[in-house]
Every structure is written in C-alpha cells, then in structure tokens.
Amino acid sequence: MALNRKIAYIDLDAETVRFEQIPMEWRRKFIGGRGLDAYLLYTNTPKGCDPLGSDNVVIISAGILGGTLASSASRTHITAKSPLTNLFGSASMGGFFAPEMRWAGIDHFVIRGKASRPVFIYAHDGEIEIRDADFVWGKGVYDTQARIRSELADEETQILCIGQAGENLVRYATVMTGRKDAGARTGMGAVLGSKNLKAIACRGTMEIEISNPEEALEYNKETIDRVVSSKASQSMQRWGTNFMFGITNTTGLVRTRNFQYNQLPNSENLEAENLEKFSVGMDACFGCQVHCRHRYVIKDGEYAGTYALGPDFTGQGAFGAEVGCRSMDTVLVCNHLVNDYGIDTLEVGSMIAWAMELYEEGIITDKDTHGLKLEWGNDEAVIALIKQVALRQGFGDILAEGPLPAARRLGPDSLKYLIHVKGMSNLNTDERAAPAWALSIAVSSRGSDNLRGMPAIDLYNLPMELLEKVYRSPDGYDGPLTNSFSEYEGKPRMVMWQELCYMAVESLGVCKYHTVFLSPNHPAFTEFSRLIQLNVGLEFSEMDLWDCAKRCYTIERLFNLREGMTRADDMLTDRYFEEPTRLGLPAARGKYIDRNRFEAMLDEYYRLHEWDEAGIPTPELLERLDISDLWTPGKN
Amino acid sequence: MGKKLMIVDPQKCTGCRNCELVCSVKHNGVSDPSLARIHIVKWDDERFYMPMRCQHCRDAPCLAVCPKDAIYRDEEMDSVRINHDLCIGCKMCVSACPFGAMGWNPKRGRVFKCDLCHGDPQCVRFCDVKAVDYVETSKLCCDRMRDAAENYAELTRRYPR
C-alpha cells in the first residue's frame, strides 16, 4: 500500500542509514510531505543550530499522495533551518523526483551530519547507498544529473542535486530536480553543500497500491477536466506562467528598478507571447496536464544552441523589470544560468536590482563592483553578476551572502533600499496596491514569498458569492470578506485560508496550480479529502484536513519563534508605507500600505490563527491541536 | 466506422507520464510505471519526448516467435493480443519485440503489453494534448495534414506578407 513508505534517517557523519515506519498517529496529525516535514524539523534540530553546521537536519519528502492519481502529485518538498533567514527553511519543487522516491520505497529522507568527502545518496527499491561524488563535484546541475545517470547506468533514475552555487554555500542556492524544477527559496542548496551532499538519486519499482483504483481513475479524470477548464490553466498551457506578467504589469503590480516603480513600460519584448518563437514545445511535471513551462533553445550569442526549460513568471521579473532590462534573450540566458548553477531566481534578481539602486545612489561605486557598471538595464552586468554570485567571485561574493549580511557589508545606508522580509528578498511583485498580498508576504513562515499565502485571486474582483464559497469553507467563517484588491477588510482571512490550503496541498504533494491559487474553481479541502480516500484509503474530513494544516502551519510558526522571531519580523520594509506607487491603472497608482491598517490586519490575522497579539500560538490552541508538548510558554 | 489506429506525436508530448500512471493503475491497480504498457522515453538533451508502446505490428515478431500460438491478431480491433490460457511464460516474445513493448510481470508470472483497453485506451483518454491518440484510419492523414497546415496558417497570421 501507499502508506508503507518509510522515513530514511541518514547520518552522514557515521555514514549510517536507519529506516522507520511512519506511525499512523503522525499521518493523522501531520498527513505527510511539508506537514510532517515541519514536525520532523522541529523535533530533530536543536534550537539555535548553525544552518550550515552538521546539527542542521535537511528533510526531503514526497507527499502522502505522491505518485498516485491525484493530478500532478509530483511535488518534492525540502526543509531545513535556513542559512538565508536563520528561520524555517522550506521549498517545494515539481518534476519527477517525488514519485520516484516513493517507488524506491521512501517518503522522507531525514539527513544530518556532514560527509567527510563529496557524496551522493542512491536509493533504489528500499535500499540506500552513500556513494562517492568526486566525479560530479564542481559540475553544474545539467551535467551532474547526466553523469550520475551514466554512472548508475539507468536513464530512468531521478536526481535531486545542487550546482556550483550550493557547493559554494551561496545562501540562496537551490536544489534542483531535472533541468528546471527548483527547490529555490531559503537556501536549501547551501545546506546540502554544507553537508558535502551533491545529490540524491532515486529509482524504484515498488508498487504504490491504489485503494480504489477504478474510482480513483474516474476522479482523476474529473479533476483534470476541472483544472484544465479554467482560464488560468488554459493560459498556462499555452504561454506558461509567463502569462501573469502581462496582467500584473499592466495593472501596476510588478516591482521595477528594485522598488522605484511598479510597472515596466515598453515591456513588449518581455511578454509571454514573445516566448513562442524560442519555444520548441511545452513541458510538464509528473501527471500534470497544465504543463506550465516551455522547452526552449537560446538562439544567439554566447549560449546559442543551449536547450533549457522555463523561464517562469519570476524570471521575467527578476531578470527583466526588477533590473530594468527588456530583453527576452537575457531572461532566457539568465534562467538557464540560475538553473545550471543552482541559484534562486527571485533572490539573485532582487539582490542585483538592489545593488543597481545602490550604484545609482552612489552608495556603492565601481570600486566595490570591481568595475562592473551596475546601471539599470545593463543586461551584460546582470549575466556577469549571476556567474559571480554562483562562483563567489568579485562583487558577487558579497551578494552571495544574502540580503542582510550583504547590507551589513555595504553599510547602513544600503539597508533602506533592501526589499525583504525576515532576511529573504521579495519576489518580483509590488504589493503596495494590494493589501492582502502585502500581508501575505509579511507573515509568511519562510520570509517574503508569494507561495505561502498569497490570495492571487483577490486580483480578479470576483463576484462575492464565489469568493464566499471559497473563503467561508470549510470551517464556516462568518467574518468580513471583500472582493476589491484595494481593500484591507476581510483580507487576513483570505491570507490565512490560503496558507492552510497551501499547507494541505503541499502535505498531499500536489501542485498549487491544482488548487485555489490562480482559479477559484480549482479543487480544495473537499476534493483533497476524496483524493486521499480514493488513493490511499484514509478517511480525513475536510475539517480534519483544515485542522492538520493549522497544526502544521503552527509548528512552522513555533520553529520561528523558537529561533527568536517576533511580531516585529512580520513586517514590510518602510518603503511600502512611505513611497506611493507611480504607475499603473488607477486602482494601483498612488498607492501605499497604510501602517495602522496594516497593523490591524496583522492583529486580525493572528486572531484567526488563534495566536496571541505577539503572534504566539495560545496554549488553548496547542492543547486542541495536541502539540502542547512542543512548546512551553516562556521556556523555549 | 473504419478501423482505428493508435498514433503518437512526440512534438505534442509534454513528458508528464500520466499515461504510464493511468495504464499501470488500470491494469494492475497500482502506481508503478515498470508495469505500464506505455513509456515516455526522454533524453537530457533531446528536445522532444517519445511515447513508446506496442505497435500492434502487421507482421508481429512476438506472434511469430510464440511456440504455443498464444499471441494472435484480433482482426476486428486490428491489434495483437495475448491469450493467457495458452501462454507458457517462456518470454520468447519479450526477446523478440524490437520495441521493448512486451513486458514481464514477475509477481504475476506473466507477460504483458498494450491491449488497447478493449477499444478505450486510457492513455489516450487521459492525455490532454493527445500526444497519444486513437483515431480512425480514414481520418488519420487528414488530421495530420490539417495540423501541419495550421502551422502554416499560424505563421502567415503572425508574419503577414
């Protein structure tokens, strides 16, 4: 059956492996995937551990539905204490790794220690070997995967690995599966690098029994038909996630020139339609009919002929609007470079944009940049800096340390230009006109991010009936809701609902594009409940799932509190409150976040999560969620 | 109604492998691509994905090599079928198939290959882009020609003279 997959505890100091069954009690409380990862991280790392030290534990998992008929049950989740934020680190990636993990018999890898030499882990049909990785150390992501497949003489092997950036402990290095699927945020690649762990290879033929195969097949079809019937999915099927750039840029929600503007004018070259001439077809993760990214070939220049996947929406922002560039060719080259070196698109783009603003303001000069002209729209400088960051050369070595350490190096004047939350750079959206989005990035458990709790559908001005159908379920919320993205009222509920929805979907191991992210009509808690029942035979009511998500999100919160986070860290930088937007549609122009109303949203958000006004989960909540053993008030 | 033919279009395939998943569940009740009768072949550097499965050959090597006549042509379905009552499990057909489309399931102790799901291939049903398709032979050429012509039309729209 699907639930006999194991947790593999691997100690790289002693080079030992221990398998353990996942207790049913853990399934009922934490489901699997990201949810169980949160519990495992909390209970397996000591408070205050060095994120790049041997005490830090890195956990890689498939969700409870990984590899089953759940429509895109493809997601791999990775978690560890983050070397970027020193708080909860977490990233989710698509591709084919998670199903292969499960066919190899494993649901969670829990890896501690540090290998004495470069190694990779090879898991196959219930067995695990720790092998020498000298032959791939120093290699990029594409090359590493090809060489390991060749070494193992099995082309079907799925590989999760780091590139040079992870080896060089760039604090926002990614882990990659395939050419494109990045566990990008919070620097998980550096954690693998610090452990001398270059890769994990999986290959398996262990059957995952489907509880009710006939009904699961029919329900899978129903789910696929429903997901691909939405406008958002159909747009992604043709243009990839890139279609979002046009919508958000036109509205005035795209961070431009670091934070100077909220829209990039004359951006035609960056629009999704312009990708078609490079595209040789679309590409999908396991079992997914949305196939949201292109396969493309770079046409001209130094990288002519390079075959890569992507870029996604964030690439258009990070290597386009944020740095003031307007070239799709540059976006394609940068996307290839970050994937091959293994660096976070969002973080590196934001760091370069920040450096460009510092350069413009004279806070850094040619002397700091070793002669690199960090002028807006200097495509060559962007490409050069990506390489410098990955290889820790020149000015890139400073940027490789991440936002706050880099700001400390460049002096206090640089800090005010930094757009971050909890030490993680913001993505490429500008949330000044959309309070719900602003709240979501401020409170996210992993730092500034759109994939933790952003109610993207807030932008659609949906009919209230539809909005209520989504956000009042499953617990019968009866507080306010508003359908204009300019409002503050009712937004905390939307953010909190999305956080729990994403927690649930990532515990299942299903992609967010198959739940309420870009479409209000996609599956959510009710459908999750049925998917679990049909595929793995467990009965979870939608309220059970809601409570599980709440429990697991609260554990992520507890982890952060244990590491010293406070309410003050659930905050945007001052520019959100002080600099009005200058461009965009009337609803997005001249907007900034009102500090008092933001604080009121924060209060309401805590209240909805049943956390106190300092953002600390109440003893009653912990008692009810049966996790009071994790937290003793005043003694953590 | 004319006979139907299973065709693949590597240009359309997105490589998602849902066909492998649904095939394996449909025939075995489990998720395990090693038991699927269809497989998406991928290379790191090639720019397409290739769905591979039984071609239902006209002059089938598996059929020819079978010592017990356990493999036969179903003329109505225009397909190659296995009669498991006659099969002795010698696996000569596995060796003979030039496409690797004949598999061996060690747990059940029997060979397996595509049976077109008795006329409703699930790989086709679940493939949204129809990289695998099951079409009437009489329409086959017309459909492909139309697709090819559409490329030309699209180019003309995009770059008008």
* B49, B61: one domain: no
Written out in words, the top-level CATH class of the domain with range A2-203 is alpha beta
Q: Is residue B157 one of the residues assigned to a domain?
A: no
Q: Is residue B141 one of the residues assigned to a domain?
A: no
* B42, B82: one domain: no
* B50, B119: one domain: yes
CB-closest option in B14, B17, B30 to A282: B14
Instruction: List the 32-61 stretch of B: residues with Cβ below 8 A of A.
Output: 32-35, 42-45, 47-48
Find, among A335, A240, A244, the residue nearest to A291 by Cα: A240
Q: What is the pLDDT of residues A221-275, one digit of tens each?
A: 999 999 999 999 999 999 999 999 999 999 999 999 999 999 999 999 999 999 9
Per-residue DSSP letter, B37: S
Q: Give me the half-sphere count of Cα atoms (radius 13 Å) on the Cβ side of residue A275.
A: 33
Q: Is residue B22 one of the residues assigned to a domain?
A: yes
Min distance A128 CA to chain B CA atoms (Å): 20
Task: Check CB contact under 8 Å for A217 and B47.
Answer: no
Contacts of A541 (CB under 8 A, 6+ apart): A529
Task: Check CB contact under 8 Å for A207 and B32.
Answer: yes
Cβ-in-10-Å burial (0-12, 13-18, 19+) of B37 comes to: buried
- From residue A195, alpha-carbon distances to A90, A98, A113, A338, A552 in Å are 17, 21, 7, 21, 27
- What is the number of structural domains in chain B? 2
- How far apart are alpha carbons A594 and A491 in whole angstroms? 14
- pLDDT at position A164 is 98
Please give the helix or strand (H or E) that residue A601 lies within, else none: helix A595-609
Q: Give me the half-sphere count of Cα atoms (radius 13 Å) on the Cβ side of residue A583.
A: 19
- Segment B4-27 shows an average pLDDT of 96
Instruction: Give the residues across from A421 on adjacent strands.
Output: A424
CATH classification of the domain holding B42: 3.30.70.20
Contacts of A291 in chain B (CB under 8 A): 14, 16, 129
CB-closest option in B14, B30, B45 to A284: B14
Q: Is residue B80 one of the residues assigned to a domain?
A: yes
* Residues of chain A falling short of pLDDT 70: 1
Q: Which fold has domain A435-630?
A: 1.10.599
Q: Is residue B154 one of the residues assigned to a domain?
A: no
* B107, B119: one domain: no
- pLDDT at position B97 is 98
* B102, B124: one domain: no
**Backbone Cα Rg of chain B:** 18
* B17, B43: one domain: yes
CB-closest option in B15, B30, B31 to A283: B15
| B27 at A interface, C-beta within 8 A | no
Taking 3-state DSSP, the helix, strand and coil percentages for chain B, each rounded to the nearest 5, stand at 35, 20, 45
Task: Check CB contact under 8 Å for A224 and B128.
Answer: yes
Nearest chain B residue to A279, by CA: B47
Find, among A429, A376, A419, A425, the residue nearest to A252 by Cα: A429
Q: Is residue B50 one of the residues assigned to a domain?
A: yes
CA–centroid distance for A441 within its chain: 12
Cut 0.95: pTM above it = yes
Task: Check CB contact under 8 Å for A67 and B31.
Answer: yes
Task: Check CB contact under 8 Å for B12 and A281.
Answer: yes
- pLDDT at position B2 is 65
Residue B1 has pLDDT above 60, yes or no: no
- pLDDT at position B160 is 77
- pLDDT at position A1 is 66
Is residue A430 within 8 A of residue A322, CB to CB? The reply is: no
- Which domain covers residue B61, as residue numbers? 56-113
Q: What is the pLDDT of residues B42-83, one digit of tens each?
A: 998 889 999 999 999 999 999 999 999 999 999 999 999 999
Is residue A402 within 8 A of residue A171, CB to CB? The reply is: yes
Is residue A32 within 8 A of residue A504, CB to CB? The reply is: no
Nearest chain B residue to A296, by CA: B47
Domain spans of chain A? 2-203, 237-422, 435-630
- How far apart are alpha carbons A335 and A318 in whole angstroms? 10
Q: Is residue B8 one of the residues assigned to a domain?
A: yes
Min distance B43 CA to chain A CA atoms (Å): 8
Give the residue ranges of DSSP H helices in A156-197: 164-167, 188-194
- How far apart are alpha carbons A531 and A547 in whole angstroms? 17
Q: What is the pLDDT of residues B82-109, one digit of tens each?
A: 999 999 999 999 999 999 999 999 999 9
* B6, B78: one domain: no
- How far apart are alpha carbons B101 and B98 in whole angstroms? 8
Find, among A445, A452, A438, the residue nearest to A422 by Cα: A445
Q: Which fold has domain A237-422?
A: 1.10.569
Q: Is residue B5 one of the residues assigned to a domain?
A: yes
